[in-house]
Amino acid sequence: MPPALRLLATALVALLLLSSAGAQETCWSGPAPRRGAWMSVASFGGRGDGQTLNTGAFARAVARIERRRGARGGTLLYVPPGVWLTGPFNLTSHMTLFLARGAVIRATQDTSSWPLIDPLPSYGRGRELPGGRYLSLIHGHGLQDVFITGENGTIDGQGSVWWDMWKKRTLPFTRPHLLELMYSTDVVVSNVVFQDSPFWNIHPVYCSNVVIANVTVLAPHDSPNTDGIDLDSSSNVCIEDSYISAGDDLISIKSGWDEYGIAFGRPSSGITIRRITGSGPFAGFAVGSETSGGVENVLVEHLNLFGMGVGIHIKTNSGRGGFIRNITVSEVTLHGARYGLRIAGDVGGHPDASYNPNVLPVVYSVTIKNVWGENIRQAGLIRGIRNSVFSNICLSNVKLYGSASIGPWKCRAVSGAALDVQPSICTELASTSETGFCTS
């Protein structure tokens, strides 16, 4: 096994094997592995002057790394201090993209230079509009052993031109992400700032063995759909020790959209998220609403959220199908939110008229525990689907307080239990005869 893969495998195994006796668990402590070769984008005609378009320089550098794919240990591509204006470019396997302190990879605002690519098969069309979608600024397909790291350099999407088109409804196709990796494995993203993405910031889709650690994601709170990190039909993923302030959900787990996601059938599973701080107008942590491939076996802990729309939001809809199960969220501090918690079965639109509204999602075994919130307007809403009751929902030690009288819980089509919840929980979860699964 190459040294870089051995290092990542060791980190992922350590995530599962660390004892609970005092040490802070972590799945990535760095540094990135030492590569067998080193090269700078400046050696390929690149200029970090903020004016020169460096798309060709990045492409030439990555092509050189690809030709050296058999070289022992892979190659590090160094981005020196400076502002490196560029259009979209692809990565390759066995490489590290390293941003020095003071390095900025800045996206061109010439939208005509962004190539179109096919829609994701689990979505069937662009997420915003029918047809294709724009290539992400940094993209990878079918890769192995990729590190995107550095000394907290910045990847700047200059997204305002895209946000304006969205607001004016002049977008011809779905906006690009800052970083998208597809069908890739053994990936680490760490110690980088993502800023002003046109659309979602970080989007691993159909990936496995992914670590995202010590990143900062920034976008104005009024920037449309600038989700921080969206995991999509991916498995064995760890996100930790990061700060996110964005215009939509800070972290969301997805797995495809209606009939396309059902047919593709790839769930998101085996996900750990911890020690996240952030703010935004939507959810701090979300599942959905695109969950047609299923989402399962998720552990989220130690969130510090402020100024949120919703603290925790689990969302799906009739026609989605799929499942959401074995989700645990704990140790959450929430300073200001419209809702503390929402678990809802009526959220999100559909890709086209071909979806089947009778294909219902299954939501089972969701545990929310050890949550404290202040300045909360509405405690929460847990609203299942009449013919698909959300079951084994557990709330334990959830204390939510408002500056005045906090709005009560609202529930329907849900079963489960609640222990030590403030304000008093709805009658659907108030039974004391079914609390065994909630205390274990």
Residues with a catalytic annotation lie at: 248
Residues paired with 192 in a beta bridge: 153
Structure tokens at 249: 């959900």
Q: Do the beta carbons of residue 221 and residue 181 sit within 8 Å?
A: no
What phi-psi label fits residue 294: left (phi over 0), alpha (psi between -120 and 50 degrees) or beta?
Answer: left
Residue 79, amino acid:
V
Structure tokens at 66: 């690809």
Phi, psi of 33 (to 5 degrees): -65, 150
User: Rounded CA gap, 422 and 115, in Å?
Assistant: 51
User: Rounded CA gap, 440 and 421, in Å?
Assistant: 17
Q: Do the beta carbons of residue 414 and residue 365 sit within 8 Å?
A: no
User: Rounded CA gap, 230 and 250, in Å?
Assistant: 8
Residue 170, amino acid:
T
Give the C-alpha distances (Å, rounded to integers) separating 107 from 177, 193, 228.
11, 14, 17
Structure tokens at 298: 């998720």
Structure tokens at 202: 């970080």
Exposed e or buried b per residue across 276-289, where buried means at least 16 C-beta atoms within 10 angstroms of its C-beta: bbbbbbbbbbbbbb
Q: Reduce the secondary structure of 105-145 to three states and give it as a string.
A: EEECCCHHHCCEECCCCCCCCCCCCCCCEECCCEEEECCEE
Residue with tokens 């997805």: 254
User: Rounded CA gap, 90 and 138, in Å?
Assistant: 6
Helix (H, G, I), strand (E, B) or coil at 258: helix
Give the C-alpha distances (Å, rounded to integers) separating 50 from 81, 82, 115, 157.
11, 7, 22, 13
